[in-house]
Structure 1
């Protein structure tokens, strides 16, 4: 960049120097808890985390070792929040170079935030989280990808990341009651689910079969996690708060979601990021169905879908969200000729798909290459139909099929449940 200078978002890049002001640092780290600080301060940079990362396995670049991102974020943290770092900053012993910073955009998005690196880290370092913090800095400093910024802008200005404008009409068309007060559940959809009318119809049908009262809000068509995953925490937090406001306005008892990432965001990361205590329970549909099944309210039988079947678990639902048993038991009961992975849904031995990165067009080529690890694993199991629990996973595997990387079908779990639930 020579002597060209950029001043935006608290960054000043000139020559080989990157200057960061305290305002940017405080905004970047405003949601850190004790476990996050532990992770930043105690990463040994041993690199073991890289062996479960499909991006590093593809590129073998140092900047794609998950711990590299943690170390880079730790530089900023230590320069403002540790005694040694503050002194080192004034003495110019600790800094971020222009060369390092210009590699951040590429590195930050070579991560699906699946959490496998944390599972394999000897110190359980949340390297997936530091990738999100890195995107936060890119967002504020003006160096984020254009398509990433569009997702955030759509969420802020149009209410959802994909810019869908007719949510109320689509919800009514498949049978949802819109803005009905006093229902038991408020259903929060994913924009990708809204785009697929078959999925949306199956969700409405499941609620009807289980005879539970559900409403949707005309004001909420996105849980907010896309904005979070591209670094716009403020927009994501505002959507999360809006969800809670709508739940209160509509006088519901619980929030329910069918999207694995949405569950993780609404149940765990949203409350943490916003600092707002969750006032009512959040459930994933598999938890609701499993409880009804155990109570004897419904029966589950093999669904009429193509077999043999296998599964690609949602890491956000299992590894990061903590929901395992309902998913496995439901599949055993409803998936025909089910080939069950030996490892638990949270295991780092199960590869991540490329998830939300499918929406970042600048990453198209590396995303296609990184997909191959999960595709090869799923193909080895010999199933003809892979069941998924997250619309981002469905998008990823669907793109793999379109790119002729896979020769199996992909079925969303709500289709299985709709056909497998018996009263």
Structure 2
């Protein structure tokens, strides 16, 4: 069985990176003691974590349901075995049998090597939660991953990507560090692109007071997914919405959910509520980001520092409503490509969006082909929870993690003639799937769902 030293690991943040997100790394000679202190905090705070520590019987049902294990074939990536990396420490310090019998009952002392194992393996888990669907006890190993990542963050052990994103969010309100002038310039450019390609005049208002709708896109839509942002602008223009994009929180994603729920996630929520209050809006509409929507839908009310009087909905829900009420005229023949749908994990297993995704895509696409398994049984793209590290070795690991999804896409046949679409209605899924479809030679082009709405709209 390989050890953590045999595993590729994401690039770690430096001390300077950590200070940008207000974390002073714990010295090595104190890390183990502090890790036990933080583990005790998680044990006392989260019953779901204790359930995972004390109820797993290692039946193995999770193994064939984990894309990470299927892609790497590393036995420590079986969800039950990954949790065991923490469970053996939990047993040693928080159970009678572990304190008395030690290794005889699978308990182990904490060490720096153990912490390195945690860092390596819990940043290969994408928090997709498919293992919870298979577990006969309903154990959600994602809860273990979230707890361990939080502990590692407190110790000052964080991937450089996550630390950089946390700092950028605090500084300017989006993952990419794009300031307001850059946001405005990009949106003006997209307006010109829409006019050139679709012959439609669309303006993107920024910080417009007294708007009815506050639209929060993914910052990736300014750079990597322009047709998603263009499609959103076309949709809001089509329905005559009074809407705006806030420059201070131009980011649907919330990486705090993925490594630091105690500060970074809460900070992002505060920025959002400040923008909504200052602009006098009536509704918040979320853009295409799976983990960001999960963080918004499930956690804003509990993390907010004030009452939240505004309804918070997702753009896919909004578009589905207008489709069902015949307020959008869409011509599916305008999207002349066979198309399949990737169900993002957070949408399907946490946010109940799967049916609205289908309401929209079937209205936009003439040749729609389901991928199986789908909906709440979907397999992760392999990039969930921002496992999007670009160093060469970890890039290859990402391609391994996408192997199961590639197999399922190929089975739909949409890429047989090299002209298919893979609809990925989540910005992190898109970032993972862009290289995945090339590396696995799937013959498809990755599109967002709102991209297809923009293409299929019939203007009066």
Q: Which interval holds the TM-score relative to the shorter structure?
A: 0.7 to 0.9
Q: 2:311 maps to what in 1?
A: 281
How much does 1:129 deviate? 2.7
Matched, 1:45 2:58: yes
Judge which range, 204-213 or 400-409, deviates more: 400-409
**Per-residue Cα deviation, 1:183-214 (whole angstroms, up to 9, x for no partner):** 22111111211213333222111111122221
Name the counterpart of 1:147: 161
Say which structure is richer in strand.
Answer: 1
Higher mean alpha-carbon deviation, 219-228 vs 167-176, is at: 167-176
In 2, the alpha carbon distance for the partners of 1:37 and 1:353 equals 27
Task: Tell me whether 1:211 sits opposite 2:240 in the alignment.
Answer: yes
Q: Which residue is equivalent to 1:411? A: 447
Aligned to 1:3: none
Q: 1:406 to 1:13 in 2, by over 3 A?
A: farther
Q: CA deviation at 1:36?
A: 4.8
* Alignment partner of 1:334 is 2:370: no
Match of 1:128 in 2: 142
Alignment of 1:12-411 (within 5 A): 13=29, 18-20=32-34, 24-25=38-39, 32-74=45-87, 84=95, 95-165=109-179, 166-171=182-187, 173=189, 174=191, 175-195=203-223, 196-231=225-260, 233-259=262-288, 260-272=290-302, 278-302=308-332, 304-341=334-371, 343-348=373-378, 350-355=379-384, 356-359=386-389, 361=391, 363-383=394-414, 384-403=420-439, 405-411=441-447
CA contact (8 A) 1:151 1:227 kept: no
Matched residue SS, 2:361? helix
Task: Give the drift of 1:386.
Answer: 1.0
User: CA 1:211–1:77 in structure 2 vs 1: closer, same or farther (change >3 Å)?
Assistant: farther
Q: TM-score, normalised on structure 2?
A: 0.79
Supply the distance in 1 between the matched residues of 2:63 and 2:183 (Cα, whole angstroms). 40
**Aligned-pair CA distance for 1:220:** 0.8
Q: 1:320 to 1:208 in 2, by over 3 A?
A: same
Distance 2:255 2:43 in 1: 19
Seen in structure 2, the aligned counterparts of structure 1 residues 91 and 231 have a Cα distance that, compared at 3 Å, is farther
Q: 2:35·2:155 contact (CA, 8 Å) conserved in 1?
A: no
Unpaired runs of 5+ residues, structure 1, are 1-7
In structure 1, distance between residues paired with 2:310 and 2:56? 35
Contact kept, 8 Å, 2:132 with 2:138, in 1: the verdict is yes
Q: Output the CA distance in 2 between the equivalents of 1:367 and 1:148.
A: 16
Identify which range, 354-363 or 258-267, moves more after superposition: 354-363
| C-alpha distance in 2 between matches for 1:182 and 1:214 | 9
Report if aligned partners of 1:54, 1:373 keep a CA contact under 8 Å in 2: yes
Conserved in 2, the CA contact under 8 Å of 1:307 and 1:385? yes
Q: 2 CA distance for matches of 1:342 and 1:54?
A: 14
**In the comparison of the two structures, how many residue pairs are matched?**
410
- Given that 1:187 and 1:215 are in contact with CA atoms closer than 8 Å, whether structure 2 keeps it comes out as yes
Distance in structure 2 (CA, Å) of the matches to 1:385 and 1:20: 49
Higher relative contact order by CA 8 Å / sep ≥ 6: 1 or 2? 2
Structure with greater helix percent:
2
Does the 8 A contact of 1:69 with 1:130 survive in 2? Answer: no
SS at 1:177 equivalent: coil
The CA deviation at 1:231 is 3.6
- 8 Å Cα contact 2:79/2:131 also seen in 1: yes
Determine if contact 1:372/1:405 at 8 Å carries over to the other structure: no
Contact 2:128 2:345 in 1 (8 A): yes
> CA distance change for structure 1 residues 24 and 188 in 2, over 3 Å: closer, same or farther?
same
Inter-partner Cα distance in structure 2 for 1:13 and 1:61: 30
DSSP 3-state at the match of 1:374: helix
- What is the alpha-carbon distance in structure 2 between the residues aligned to residue 163 and residue 226 of structure 1? 14
TM-score (norm 1): 0.85
- Counterpart CA distance in 1 for 2:111 and 2:294 is 35
Aligned to 2:9: none
Structure 2, unpaired ranges of 5+? 1-23, 192-202, 415-419
Match of 2:18 in 1: none
